[in-house]
Structures are given as C-alpha cells and as structure tokens.
Amino acid sequence: MASSYSTDLKLEIMVTGENAGTWGDITNTNLNILQQAIAGFQTVALNATTGSTLTFTNGALSNGKNAVLKLTGTLTSNVDVTIPDSGSGTAPEKVYLIENATVGAYTVTVKTTSGTGVTFGTTDKGKRLLYSDGTNIVDSALQSLSSDYTPTLSANLSTNSKNIIVGSTYGIIDENANEQIKFATTASAVNEITLTNAATGNNPAISATGGDTNVGVTLTPKGSLGRITLNGESKVFGMFENAFITTTFITSLNYDVLTQAVYFQNVNLGSNFTVNFRGDGSNTLNSALATGESVTAALITKQANTTFYNTSVITVDGTSTGVTVVYQGGSAPTAGNASSNDVYTYTAIKTAASTYTILAAQTQFK
C-alpha cells in the first residue's frame, strides 16, 4: 500500500514496512513541515491584479503551511489570497497570523477556494489572526480589544500617533458605569476642540481649532434654566450680548431675562408703559434666579416730541409684592426725554424667595 498525505499539512503518512532506507528523510521532512506550521514565517508577493493562491504540496515545505505570512506587492486592483481546497470541497484547517504589507488603496481578501473569507480594507495595513475551519476563513478578532469585554490595562495606553475612534453618542463612563463625557459627531467636520496642558506659571487651554479661519466655542447648558458657571475670578477680553429688537410698541412689557440681555423698543413711544420681569414665557424669574444672585437688564426706548416713560409700576413675575424699587438719584422719573433715546437699566437682586431689590435708572441719549 502506498503512503498517503494528511488533509491539513500534507504530511506523508507512511505505511508500515514501506520506505525502507528513506524513512528518516521522510520523517525529517514531516518534522520541518510541522515546524513551518508552528513557527514558520514567509513573505508572499501578491500579483498586482490576481493576488496569490497559496501552495500545499504533498510531503514538502509550502508557503501555505507557514504560521505567519507577510503579504507584499503593489496592487492595482482588489485581490484575493486563496487557500486551495484539499479535496472533496474542504480546505486545510489551520491558524494564520497574516500581515497586510501591500502598497495601494485596494482590498485584500483571504479566503478558501469554495468558501468565504476575511477582507483587509483599502487602508487596513494591519495584522489579523485568522483561521480556516475547513470551509471558510474566519477572523478570530483576538487582535482587537473588541474580543475582550472588560479589558484592563496594566500599564499606560499609548495611541502610537494614532486616533481613538468613538462612535457618535458614545464616550467615557466612570467606574460606576455612569456617563461622564459623551461625544457627538458632525458629518464632514473640519473644526474641533484642542486641550493643551501647561508648564509652571501658565494656564492649560481649551481652544477652538480646525480648518476655518475664525472658529468660536459654543457652551450650551441643558434646558432653559441650565446655566454656565465660572468658579473663581474671570477675565474677559470682549463680550457680545444678545439684543432683542422690536418695532412694536408695548405698553405692558414683559422683559424675559433668559433671552433678552438688551431690549430695544425701536419705535416711538405712544404712551407711558410698565415693565414686568420674568425668566421667559415658561419660567418665572424666581425659578431662574437663586437667592443671592442678580441680573441686569437694559431697556432702550425711542421718543418723538413726547415725554412718555416707565412709570413706577415695576413687577416681577406679574406682582409687585416683595419687590422694592430704588432709583438712581433717589426718586423715580416722572417723564421721558423728548426726541431722544431713553435707556433704562435695572439690576434685580434676589434677597429671598420671590423677594427682590431692583436698582433702576433712566439715562437720556441724544
């Protein structure tokens, strides 16, 4: 009976009594094949358009039997690296560590002749631990953190000059699995935030950077009553305030401090008017302002040849109860200024729940 060959590594299976005088050579060849399968490394140059079919020669060293394969070559199209069937539509069962070191933005698919495979993307020049199950080539995913559901570092994690990719609405959680930082994405984004640490005597920085020439930073609290808090002293080099401009004269004016830093009634007054301060149409000033806090508002009114003005009726959240108004100069205005812009400034200080002291002043601009 003649010798046969193993399905996976094509080792020569000798029949008892055969190969007299050559048994030692055949055994050494088999051992070398086993060594190749366990520890062998070989570079496989791929054809630019057709890739390569690995070899599995009976009883001989072959490139498809190596443990580690490095794929090289300059590609001009997507190619396959094929592990041939060993018979009856089955492929050798084997583990591979494969590095895609090809040049060119084309895919490389490692597959069996009759089955499916694993594809290196056009820019994926990495390494993968793959195995053949006799039908298909399967990615073990052991080379990625996704295969470890609770990875724990025993040393610092270096990104090695690479990026960390975070899916939109995902981010960093704390040790209690609570949200800490969440990231949101914008398609085709060109601007970003840069965090810079600092040496002794200098401040760390949060900066807007990116492709645009002028890039601002938007800090958005949640909800109409959310706010941005700056702890400690603050230095401001420039400040822009939102100005609400209307051409409709309103005799009973609601001043919404949550959305109106400056209120410009850009139309001549038609009569005296009153002012009510509130958070906005849905929130009271009492809910928007904590005890011990204050808010300042500016109201600009236009006068023709009349002298209308803000009467002494100033309310908060629709009531004058708990509201004490004191005026610059010691007395409330009794008239406006003809052919002018009258500017009223109000600083409301909350001294207790629904209790306010309002500092008011009228100034003529002409």
User: Using CA atoms in the order 345, 351, 355, 359, what is the torsion angle rounded to 10 degrees?
Assistant: -20
b/e map of 272-283 (b: 16 or more CB within 10 Å)?
ebbbbbbbbeeb
- Span 358-362, mean pLDDT? 97
DSSP element (H, E) containing 288: helix 285-288
pLDDT at 7 over 60: yes
When comparing pLDDT for 140 and 255, which is higher?
255
Q: pLDDT tens across 179-233, in order?
A: 999 999 999 999 999 999 999 999 999 999 999 999 999 999 999 888 888 899 9
DSSP states along 113-127: SSS-EEEE-TT---E
CA 250, CA 339: separation in Å to the nearest integer?
19
Mean pLDDT of the chain: 91
Q: pLDDT tens across 277-302, in order?
A: 999 999 999 999 999 999 999 999 99
Share of the chain above pLDDT 70, in %: 96
CA 61, CA 133: separation in Å to the nearest integer?
21
**Partner residues linked to 294 by β-bridges:** 349
Q: pLDDT tens across 53-87, in order?
A: 999 888 889 999 999 999 999 999 999 999 998 77
pLDDT band at 148; cut points 50, 70, 90: low
DSSP states along 134-145: SSSEEE--TTSG
CA 151, CA 109: separation in Å to the nearest integer?
29
b/e map of 69-82 (b: 16 or more CB within 10 Å)?
bbbebebeeebbbb
pLDDT band at 266; cut points 50, 70, 90: very high
* 24 torsion bin: left (phi>0), alpha (psi -120 to 50), beta (else): alpha
Tell me the two tokens of residue 132.
Answer: 């053949």
pTM value is 0.60
DSSP element (H, E) containing 23: helix 23-39
DSSP element (H, E) containing 171: strand 171-173
pLDDT at 17 over 60: yes
- Span 240-250, mean pLDDT? 92
The CA distances from residue 66 to 56, 102, 280, in Å, are: 10, 18, 73
pLDDT at 1 over 70: no
* 134 torsion bin: left (phi>0), alpha (psi -120 to 50), beta (else): left
* 51 torsion bin: left (phi>0), alpha (psi -120 to 50), beta (else): left
Tell me the two tokens of residue 178.
Answer: 């609570």
Q: Identify the pLDDT of residue 269.
A: 95
Tell me the two tokens of residue 225.
Answer: 């009553």
Q: pLDDT tens across 152-183, in order?
A: 778 888 888 988 888 899 999 998 989 999 99
CA 335, CA 31: separation in Å to the nearest integer?
109
Q: Identify the pLDDT of residue 160.
A: 87
φ, ψ of residue 236 in degrees (nearest 5): -120, 130
- Span 305-334, mean pLDDT? 94
Q: Identify the pLDDT of residue 147.
A: 56
Tell me the two tokens of residue 187.
Answer: 């398609």
pLDDT at 144 over 80: no
- Span 321-334, mean pLDDT? 95
